[in-house]
Amino acid sequence: MEAARLTVQDLGYGGLSFRELAKAVGIKSASIHYYFPTKGALGEAIMRRYVEHYARYLEGILEGGADRATALRRYTDVFRETLLNGNRLCLAGMLAAERNELPAEVRAEVVAWGEMNERWIARVLALGGAAGAEDLRGRARAIFAAVSGAQMVAHGRHEVAVYDEVVATYRASGLIP
């Protein structure tokens, strides 16, 4: 699962093959079909695992009692780390681009990723205190989209510095508190 995830983040869903994955983990491709009958099932499992992993990780940040600014800093650092790790894109970001050639079950998980992120960011924004009845969910969605875009642009240039610069500008402009 770990090898498959890294491959998809590197080469996309289309770049993931049973044969190459089998080679990477030292078995034969037919053995992977034993656990995941189709590529769609494999993709769904990879994506679900990813969403659950980060749901736990983000939950941990809040349980650790981080304040709003700190939590959001840790959030943007997650995307930064992914870039540092072999110029990889967020798994869901990669799959979002490939959406039109994805099996339906994988698409659904991509949407679930976005919703999980938005829910979490909205909760973090609410930590800000007496800001009143703003549209937290809409703001959360905008932050999610902006950070995803920053990662993609930096990925396209293969320069983490671009990501850092763009995210800093988001903060300076007030988009990210």
Partner DNA sequence: CGTTACCTACCGTGCGGCAGGTAGGTGCCC
Partner DNA sequence: GGGCACCTACCTGCCGCACGGTAGGTAACG
Query: What stretches of 64-175 show up as alpha helix (H) in DSSP?
Result: 68-84, 91-97, 104-126, 136-157, 160-173
| 47/110 Cα distance (integer angstroms) | 7
When CB distances are held under 5 to 8 angstroms depending on the partner's kind, the choice from its own copies, DNA, none that residue 170 binds is its own copies
When CB distances are held under 5 to 8 angstroms depending on the partner's kind, the choice from its own copies, DNA, none that residue 85 binds is none
Phi, psi (5° rounding) for residue 26?
80, 25
| 51/47 Cα distance (integer angstroms) | 6
Q: CB-based contacts of 162: which residues, under 8 Å, 6+ apart?
A: 150, 153, 154
Total residues contacting DNA by CB under 7 A comes to: 18
CB of 15 to its own copies, least distance (A): 6
Could you give the string, one character per residue 125-164, with x where binding to its own copies holds by CB under 8 A and - elsewhere? ----------x--xx-xx-xxxxxxx-xxxxxxx---x--
Q: In this structure, are residues 166 and 150 in contact, taking their beta carbons and an 8 Å threshold? A: yes
Amino acid at 142: A
**What residues between 60 and 79 interact with its own copies by CB under 8 A?**
none
Among 1, 3, 6, 12, which residue sits at the site for its own copies (rule: CB under 8 A)? 12
Half-sphere exposure of 28 (CA within 13 A, CB side): 3
CB of 147 to its own copies, least distance (A): 7
When CB distances are held under 5 to 8 angstroms depending on the partner's kind, the choice from DNA, its own copies, none that residue 89 binds is its own copies
Interface residues with its own copies (CB under 8 A) are 10-12, 14-15, 87, 89, 92-101, 107, 110-111, 114, 135, 138-139, 141-142, 144-150, 152-158, 162, 165-166, 169-170, 173-175
